[in-house]
Homo-oligomer: A and B are copies of this chain.
Amino acid sequence: MNSFIFQNPTKIYFGENAIRYLGDALKPYGKNILLTYGMGSIKKSGIYDATMDILKKSGKCVYELSGIMPNPRKEKVYEGIHLCRKHKIDIILAVGGGSVIDCSKFIAAGTKTDRDFWHAFLVNQEECYDALPLASILTLAGTGSEMNCGGVISDFENKLKLAYSNPLLYPKFSILDPTYTYTLSHDQTTYGTIDAISHILEVYFSKPDDSNLSDDLAEAILKNIISSYFQLLSSSHDYTAKANLMWCTSLALNGLLSLGKEGDWMSHQIEHALSAFYDIPHGAGLAIVHPNYLEFVYKSAIPKFARFARVVMGVKYKGKTDAEVALDGIYALKDFFRAIGAPTKLQDVNISESAIEMLANTVIVYPTSYAKKFSKDDVKTILHACLEHKSRKYEGGLVP
C-alpha cells in the first residue's frame, strides 16, 4: 500500500426530499447565489421550482446561468465568471450532473483569480489559491463531481478536453436525492454507470497489486453498481437500486478508492480525445476505449486481471490458466457494455479509421502502472483495436 494523504470535506445530504436541508445548508453563505444548470430538464422535472422556492424563502438573491452543455465548454465558464463578478456572487449552486458541476467549479476558481482560468488551471496546471464556495444538487449519477475536487472542461475550437483538480474545488455540500434520477433516459443511466465503472477500473488496475483494502472496496462497489443497474432494467423506479447506484458513483471517485494506489487514467486520456473531437458522451467513449486499453496492458498484471474476472465479472475459471481467465474477464466486460446498449466500437459513434492518427496525436501520454513506456503509437494500436468488437468464448460473465 502506497502512502497517501486524504481529506474530503464535502457534506452529503442523501435521500428522498433531501432538498429540505438546502435552506439550512446555505445559511453560512452570503445572499447572492448563482444558480447554474443545463439544458432545461430541471424545469420539466420540477427540481428548478423546488429549488427556487427554497432560495426565495431563504431570502436569497438568485442569478442564473443556464444552458451548460454535456462536455461543458470554456466559453460557458467565462460567461459564469462574468456573472459572478458583476453580481458579487457569494456561492454557486450547481443543479445537474457532472457537466454542470464541473463547469461551476471552474467558474468558482476563475472568478477569484486575475489569471485566465483556462490557461492557468487546465493548460498549465497552476496552483489555485482561492475559489468561490460551491454546492450542488445532483440530478445525474456518474461523474462523482458532487463529492470530489476535480473537473473537466473542453475547448472545442482547439479540440482539447482537459482535467484539473484542487482541494478548493470540493463542493461545500451536495444534495443527493435518488428520486431525482427517476426521469433519466436509459442512455443517461447507462453512460453514468459506465463512467463510474471506468473510474473504479482506472485505479483498481494500477500498482501496487499486493493485498490492498482499496481493491477490496473497489470490487464491492463494482458488484453493487452492476447489480443495481440490472435491477433498474426491470424496475426503473426502484428506490433502493437508484440510491445504491447514486452512492456508488459518488464513492467511485471521491478519493477513497485511490488511497494507497497509483491510479492509471490512460483510458480517460484517450477518451477525452474522442469527445473533444466528436462531442460524444463520455460514458460512450469509455465503453469503447477502456476494455481495449485493458486488453493492451493485461499481460503485465495477469493475476490481478484474473481476480477481476472471477470476483467481479463472474467468469468460470476452473481448468483455465490465469492468463485465459484474465482475458475472459476483459471480454466479459466488453460484452456487458454491448448488452446494456453502449457503443463498443468507434464506428458505433461515427468515428472512422482515418481519424485515428489525428486523435492519437492529441492524447497526453505518460508511463502507466502496467505500461512503463506507453506512447502515442500505443494509443494508435488501441484505437485500431476499437474498430472491431471481437468475440471470445468463455463461460460465465454478466450477460445471461
A binding-site residues for B, Cβ under 8 Å: 1-16, 18, 21, 173, 210-213, 216-217, 219-221, 223-224, 227-228, 231, 239-241, 243-244, 247-248, 251, 256, 259-260
By beta carbon, the residue of chain B nearest A167 is: B11
Q: Which residues of B contact A213 (CB under 8 A)?
A: 220-221, 224, 244, 247-248, 251
Contact A3 B7 (CB under 8 A): no
**Contacts known (A216-B220, A244-B213); A15 close to B9, Cβ less than 8 A:** no
**Contacts known (A244-B211, A244-B213); A3 close to B8, Cβ less than 8 A:** no
A21 and B212 alpha carbons, distance in the complex (Å):
23
Q: Which residues of B contact A224 (CB under 8 A)?
A: 211, 213, 216
Most buried by B among A3, A7, A14, A260: A3
By beta carbon, the residue of chain B nearest A15 is: B3
By beta carbon, the residue of chain B nearest A216 is: B220
19 A-B pairs whose Cβ atoms sit less than 8 Å apart in the complex: A1-B240, A3-B14, A3-B15, A3-B16, A5-B11, A5-B14, A5-B21, A6-B11, A7-B10, A14-B259, A210-B240, A211-B224, A211-B241, A211-B244, A212-B240, A212-B244, A213-B244, A213-B251, A216-B223
**Contacts known (A1-B247, A211-B244, A216-B223); A9 close to B9, Cβ less than 8 A:** yes
Least CB distance from A255 to B in Å reads 10
Least CB distance from A48 to B in Å reads 22
A329 and B306 alpha carbons, distance in the complex (Å):
29
A212 and B212 alpha carbons, distance in the complex (Å):
22
A162 and B398 alpha carbons, distance in the complex (Å):
49
A260 and B251 alpha carbons, distance in the complex (Å):
14
A227 and B244 alpha carbons, distance in the complex (Å):
27
Residue A240 contacts which of B6, B11, B211 (CB distance < 8 angstroms)?
Answer: B211
Q: Which residues of B contact A211 (CB under 8 A)?
A: 224, 227-228, 231, 240-241, 244
In the complex, besides A5-B13, A5-B21, A7-B173, 4 extra interface pairs with C-beta distance below 8 angstroms are: A14-B259, A211-B241, A216-B221, A216-B224
Q: Which residues of B contact A16 (CB under 8 A)?
A: 3
A210 and B227 alpha carbons, distance in the complex (Å):
13
A55 and B342 alpha carbons, distance in the complex (Å):
56
By beta carbon, the residue of chain B nearest A177 is: B3
By beta carbon, the residue of chain B nearest A244 is: B213
Least CB distance from A180 to B in Å reads 13
